[in-house]
A and B are shown apart, each in its own frame.
Chain A
Amino acid sequence: MKLPISLVVALFAPCVACTVRSADGYARDTGAVLATRKDAIRACYDGVLKATPEAKGTVTVKFDVETEGGGIAHVAVDPTGTTAPPPVADCVTHNLTGLAIAPPDSKEGKGTWVYEFAATGGSAAAPAARARTAPKS
């Protein structure tokens, strides 16, 4: 039986150069990618602090890691693990778009990530809020 080339590509492309990660491996590789946006998130947070010097707390986000391309998608704030005000949470969600792990994994990832925001200087200096444990996916 002869299959069209396009169908063959469609069937096998997701797994080309794919790997299978453990949960720890997924967390390690994804964490490395997320870390590349920490400076941008910090800059965004500094902007929030100009208007709201007392803004601080924890932001928990949930997201998927797609098997095709390894893209981080469907980033959403988990309200049960979030104490920071919405503008701070937006700093996280807006800065995680467009990221991807390499190589992609053959299994979809369901990530939960926690950010702790704390401010120094001015009159709002305060110790970092303790991160709340995010529920498992």
Chain B
Amino acid sequence: MTPFRSAQPFTIAGAVPPAPPARVHLRNNKIEFDEKIQFEANSAVIKDVSSSLLHEIAEVIRKNPQLKKISIEGHASSEGDVPSGHNKQLSDERAKAVMTYLIQKESIDASRLSATGWGSEKPIASIDTEEGREKNRRVEFLVVEQDPQPATEKTP
């Protein structure tokens, strides 16, 4: 038997892939993101595909302790509001589902969050086109109370 060993270690230099750009930003008293939180059809069940987005939203909340109160606001399009008020109720349930997710899965302090559904009362785009109606279906995060000290934007 012949024992032997490497005279010098083999060096393996790997490359860490660049971090993807942040999808979630704190701007103008809102937590903004381009993607949508996705729900099962006609339901307040959040799809698994939105977990990473919600995690990034939670990271922004965590890294900005000056945000004392954030209102999670659900909005629907005016389409399919049968029976009347269904869309408002659904948007309310979806906003509350997001709040519950952030509290239970991301350990965000419940006292920092509130949730409301507005139905189709606050459209941001045309209600006459599908593109507009799609924009109107959304969940927003509005900062309603924060410490008076100057807030610096912090994103993950």
List chain A positions with a Cβ less than 8 A from chain B. 21-24, 26-27, 30-31, 34-35, 38, 41-42, 45-46, 48-50, 53, 58, 105, 107-125, 128, 131, 134, 136-137
The 5 A-B pairs of least Cβ separation, nearest first, read A122-B16, A137-B3, A131-B9, A114-B9, A45-B14
How long is the Cα–Cα vector from A121 to B16 in the complex, in angstroms?
Answer: 5
Residues of B within 8 A of A117 (CB): 12, 14
A107 CA / B6 CA spacing, docked (Å): 18
- Contact of B4 (CB < 8 Å), options: A48, A110, A123, A131: A110
Question: Contact partner of B16 among A27, A30, A35, A119, CB < 8 A?
Answer: A119
Other-chain contact of A42, B9, B12, B18, B19 (Cβ < 8 Å): B12
* Number of residues from B at the complex interface, CB < 8 A: 18
21 cross-chain CB contacts under 8 A:
A27-B4, A30-B4, A38-B12, A42-B13, A45-B12, A46-B17, A50-B17, A107-B1, A109-B3, A109-B4, A110-B1, A110-B2, A110-B3, A110-B4, A112-B3, A115-B9, A116-B9, A118-B11, A122-B17, A125-B16, A134-B5
Cβ contact within 8 Å between A26 and B16? no
Besides the known contacts A121-B16, A122-B18, 5 further A-B residue pairs in the complex with CB atoms under 8 A apart: A27-B4, A107-B1, A109-B2, A114-B6, A118-B14
Q: Which residue of B lies closest to A24 (CB)?
A: B4
B49 within 8 A of A: no
Please determine whether A26 and B4 come into contact, CB atoms closer than 8 angstroms: yes
- Residues of B contacting A109 in the complex (Cβ-Cβ under 8 angstroms): 1-4
Bound CA span A42–B14, Å: 6
Whether the pair A112, B16 counts as a contact (CB closer than 8 A) is no
Q: CA–CA, A116 to B140, complex, Å?
A: 48
- The answer to whether A111 and B5 touch (CB under 8 A), given A34-B10, A38-B10, A116-B10, is yes
How far, in whole Å, are A56 and B11 apart by their CA atoms in the complex?
11
Whether B14 pairs with A119 at a CB distance below 8 angstroms is yes
User: Are A113 and B10 interface neighbours, CB within 8 A?
Assistant: yes
Which B residues from 1 to 39 make CB contacts under 8 A with A?
1-7, 9-19
Q: How far is the CA of A124 from the CA of B1 in the complex (A)?
A: 42
On whether the beta carbons of B14 and A120 are closer than 8 Å, the reply is yes
Q: Is the CB of B4 within 8 A of A49?
A: no
Neighbour of A136 across the interface among B3, B11, B12, B13, CB < 8 A: B3
Please, which residues of chain A bring their CB within 8 A of the CB of B9? 58, 114-116, 131
